[in-house]
Chain A
Amino acid sequence: MNIIVCIKQVPNTTDVRIDPVTNTLIRDGVESVINPFDAYAIEEAVRIKERCGGKVTAITMGPPQAENALKEAIGLGCDEGVLVSDRKFAGSDTWATSYTLACAIEKLETYDVILCGKQASDGDTAQVGPGISTHLDIPQVTYVKKISEINEKSAKVERMTEEGYDVVETPLPCLFTVVKEINTPRMPSLKGMMRAKSAKIIKWTAADLEADPAALGLDGSPTRVVKIFTPEPRKGGEMISGSPAEVAKELAELLKGEVV
């Protein structure tokens, strides 16, 4: 089984600061880590390998230092890492990013399962996983909380919903985005870390991917970030007190006044 896990390096903080002029994340002086949701995808990928045999390839698009995230993934049980890095990718939105990653995945020989975290902790869009499956034209199941059955041809998974969960059967290849409930990621192993230290990371540029140049980076991004801001906290509501009958009457009057 060939398993691919897409990971992203993100700033290690829940309190991300934004440059008010460029509307982009301030990354200086902030330690980079693997996107917390992707840690669950890595763990699940390694577990599938342990169940079915095969190989796990971790793949990331990012700056050269994203190589560290791939090495960390190897320390956690992945077999190899692919870094897709080029200045031409700068400014990619989720559409261009998923196109680029899909091109890289197609360049790999074969794949049966693609795993992604449900979203990245910096952008929170949850779009890149589904975007990749769209570009590759394969099925996707998002918010997976359990992979109950899996073999070379198909998988049966539980997909988390607000009310409970759906049981979904899908042929492979398929892309899954996973939620935290799916597993408890293991600690790195010393042997994995030693292997990671000497592991050679495969590096691909835009030219290697044979991608459509117009679909990459800022040019290939149909969306623009116009403004990022912290919304004002909601002001407290208005309390109405009195007997239930009085409260109901006053509320009805208020709603009438607002013409709801």
Chain B
Amino acid sequence: MDYLLSESQVMIRDLARKIAQEKIKPVAAHYDESEEFAWPVMKILAESDLFGVYLPEQYGGLGGGILDMCLVTEELSRACGGIALGYAGTGLGTLPILLHGSEEQKKKYLPAIASGKRLAAFCITEAEAGSDAGSIKTTARKEGNKYILNGTKQWITNAGEAEIYTVIALTDKAKGVRGASAFIVEKGTKGMEFGKKEKKMGIRASATREVIFTDCEVPAENLISREGMGFIVAMKTLDTSRPGVAAQAVGIAQGALDCALDYSRTRVQFGQPISSFQAIQHMLADMGTQIEAARALAYSVARMVDSGAKSVSKESAMAKLFASDVAMKVAVDAVQIMGGYGYMRDYPAEKFMRDAKITQIYEGTNQIQRNVVAANMIKETLKK
């Protein structure tokens, strides 16, 4: 399908595809098995300027938008959803600075992110604050010209690997979510530590760790926006980044379909390739159709974000939830088409299935996305 991408978007997509197919696909199984963080691949992405596609030119980026970021994430995920998350997680950690940071903060942090020299991470989740992000307990107490952070963030993507962390913490416990604020914390700050690396079902090349703050002193100038804006910063960040999760899901689904389609043409049973059986053909047709629908929705919402639309909560929730449900279904079907071989780790189908699952969970579970979509729909009827 022709999505009328601009000339530079086609260039970005083709380069991301080339890197994914030539440099990531051959090592995806290795990193899945070893659970190492794929630094050599991050270096290639950095040198190819892919980390800067969505960042403004004055900060060393290429001046594109979320659609450009989605194109990269999709292509990388088609080869490995875990390695792709090193890239996409950096985007998530960067958005608070890009969307709400001051000129000084942007000048200080964005160029190193655009060049891929430093990765980023976004920290909101805690042991008792998952879907209910409003019940976070991490605090930031102001003392003179600094804030003192205390608390533990959990399941933070890129934690330990990234250099720049955007953290949501309470500056005024009494005010609840209205008392939350966003901070930039650099790796190496005294009082900031990382927990052990989590062992996961999928996206195992991605690093997930706790980020632990114990009387961690952060300069006051690292406050993003104003005190009390933390929750708004977080919600706006997630609204903007969710098309990226959709793109990751589309990429994973496409990768799963690629391998099932190839396999179906070479696997012979009952004297013919299994792709000649209508039961298989219909599965392939549904998979292809669902992926294209998910991609169309993800790109449309990314374009809506890039157009500067005021509220994209409903649409970006729709894109994330639809694409991730498609990814899960397509990946399960890919394994089914490949039969016992699909279940074996010798083929990438089972990995796509394990990787697909996370897209239904993080950046808000799909139940929460449905809550958001429905709440917005109902609100819209009230306005009429």
Q: Interface of A with B (CB < 8 Å)?
A: 186-191, 193-194
Q: Mark B3-25 against chain A: 1 for CB-CB distance below 8 A, else 0.
A: 00000100110010011001100
Q: Which residues of B contact A193 (CB under 8 A)?
A: 11, 15
Q: Which of B15, B19, B50 lies at the interface centre, i.e. has the most chain A CB atoms within 10 A of its CB?
A: B15
Question: What 10 A-B pairs are tightest by C-beta distance, nearest first?
Answer: A190-B49, A189-B49, A187-B48, A189-B48, A191-B49, A187-B19, A187-B44, A193-B11, A190-B62, A186-B47
Is B326 an interface residue, CB under 8 A from the partner? Answer: no
Q: A193-B11, A193-B15, A194-B8 are in contact. Are A187 and B62 (CB under 8 A)?
A: no
Is B245 an interface residue, CB under 8 A from the partner? Answer: no
Could you jot down 10 A-B contacts, CB within 8 Å?
A187-B22, A187-B44, A187-B48, A188-B15, A189-B47, A190-B11, A190-B15, A190-B52, A190-B53, A194-B8
Q: How far is the CA of A188 from the CA of B48 in the complex (A)?
A: 6
Of all chain A residues, which has the CB nearest B64? A190
| A187 CB contact (under 8 Å) in B8, B11, B23, B53 | B23
Q: How far is the CA of A193 from the CA of B48 in the complex (A)?
A: 10
Q: How far is the CA of A189 from the CA of B53 in the complex (A)?
A: 11
Q: Which residues of A contact B12 (CB under 8 A)?
A: 190
Q: Which of A187, A188, A189, A193 lies at the interface centre, i.e. has the most chain B CB atoms within 10 A of its CB?
A: A187
Q: Which residues of B contact A190 (CB under 8 A)?
A: 8, 11-12, 15, 48-50, 52-53, 62
Q: How far is the CA of A187 from the CA of B19 in the complex (A)?
A: 7
Q: Which residues of A contact B48 (CB under 8 A)?
A: 186-190
Q: Mark B46-89 against chain A: 1 for CB-CB distance below 8 A, else 0.
A: 01111011000000001000000000000000000000000000
Q: How far is the CA of A188 from the CA of B50 in the complex (A)?
A: 11
Q: Which residues of B contact A187 (CB under 8 A)?
A: 15, 18-19, 22-23, 44, 47-48
Q: Which residues of B contact A188 (CB under 8 A)?
A: 15, 48
Q: Which residues of A contact B15 (CB under 8 A)?
A: 187-188, 190, 193
Q: Which residues of A contact B49 (CB under 8 A)?
A: 189-191
Q: How far is the CA of A6 from the CA of B18 in the complex (A)?
A: 25
Q: Which residues of A contact B8 (CB under 8 A)?
A: 190, 194
Q: Could you tell me the distance in whole angstroms from the C-beta of B311 to the nearest C-beta in chain A?
A: 31
Of all chain A residues, which has the CB nearest B62? A190
Q: How far is the CA of A193 from the CA of B11 in the complex (A)?
A: 8
Q: How far is the CA of A190 from the CA of B48 in the complex (A)?
A: 6
Q: How far is the CA of A43 from the CA of B48 in the complex (A)?
A: 14
Q: Which residues of B contact A186 (CB under 8 A)?
A: 44, 47-48
Q: Could you tell me the distance in whole angstroms from the C-beta of A241 to the nearest C-beta in chain B?
A: 40
Q: Could you tell me the distance in whole angstroms from the C-beta of A113 to the nearest C-beta in chain B?
A: 23
- Is the CB–CB distance between B11 and A191 below 8 Å? no
Q: How far is the CA of A189 from the CA of B11 in the complex (A)?
A: 10
Q: How far is the CA of A186 from the CA of B40 in the complex (A)?
A: 12
Q: How far is the CA of A188 from the CA of B47 in the complex (A)?
A: 8
Q: How far is the CA of A193 from the CA of B47 in the complex (A)?
A: 12
Q: How far is the CA of A241 from the CA of B187 in the complex (A)?
A: 72
Q: Which residues of B contact A191 (CB under 8 A)?
A: 49, 62
Q: Could you tell me the distance in whole angstroms from the C-beta of B191 to the nearest C-beta in chain A?
A: 38
Q: Could you tell me the distance in whole angstroms from the C-beta of A38 to the nearest C-beta in chain B?
A: 18
Q: How far is the CA of A191 from the CA of B12 in the complex (A)?
A: 10
Q: How far is the CA of A188 from the CA of B11 in the complex (A)?
A: 11
Contacts A186-B47, A187-B18, A190-B53 aside, 8 further interface pairs with beta carbons under 8 A come to A186-B48, A187-B15, A187-B22, A187-B47, A188-B15, A189-B49, A191-B49, A194-B8
Q: Which residues of A contact B23 (CB under 8 A)?
A: 187
Q: Which residues of A contact B47 (CB under 8 A)?
A: 186-187, 189
Q: How far is the CA of A189 from the CA of B62 in the complex (A)?
A: 11
Of all chain B residues, which has the CB nearest A192? B49
Q: How far is the CA of A186 from the CA of B45 in the complex (A)?
A: 11
Q: Could you tell me the distance in whole angstroms from the C-beta of B73 to the nearest C-beta in chain A?
A: 15
Q: How far is the CA of A187 from the CA of B18 in the complex (A)?
A: 9
Q: Could you tell me the distance in whole angstroms from the C-beta of B66 to the nearest C-beta in chain A?
A: 17
Of all chain B residues, which has the CB nearest A193? B11
Q: Could you tell me the distance in whole angstroms from the C-beta of A30 to the nearest C-beta in chain B?
A: 20
Q: How far is the CA of A16 from the CA of B62 in the complex (A)?
A: 39
Q: Which of A188, A190, A193 lies at the interface centre, i.e. has the most chain B CB atoms within 10 A of its CB?
A: A190
Q: Could you tell me the distance in whole angstroms from the C-beta of A132 to the nearest C-beta in chain B?
A: 30
Q: Could you tell me the distance in whole angstroms from the C-beta of A71 to the nearest C-beta in chain B?
A: 12
Q: How far is the CA of A190 from the CA of B8 in the complex (A)?
A: 9
Q: Which of B22, B48, B50, B53 lies at the interface centre, i.e. has the most chain A CB atoms within 10 A of its CB?
A: B48
Q: Could you tell me the distance in whole angstroms from the C-beta of B67 to the nearest C-beta in chain A?
A: 15
Q: Could you tell me the distance in whole angstroms from the C-beta of B62 to the nearest C-beta in chain A?
A: 6
Q: How far is the CA of A187 from the CA of B62 in the complex (A)?
A: 17
Of all chain A residues, which has the CB nearest B43? A186
Q: How far is the CA of A143 from the CA of B50 in the complex (A)?
A: 34
Q: How far is the CA of A188 from the CA of B23 in the complex (A)?
A: 13
Q: How far is the CA of A188 from the CA of B62 in the complex (A)?
A: 15
Q: How far is the CA of A15 from the CA of B48 in the complex (A)?
A: 31
Q: How far is the CA of A186 from the CA of B23 in the complex (A)?
A: 11
Q: Which residues of A contact B22 (CB under 8 A)?
A: 187
Q: How far is the CA of A191 from the CA of B60 in the complex (A)?
A: 10
Q: How far is the CA of A189 from the CA of B44 in the complex (A)?
A: 9
Of all chain B residues, which has the CB nearest A190? B49
Q: How far is the CA of A193 from the CA of B49 in the complex (A)?
A: 10
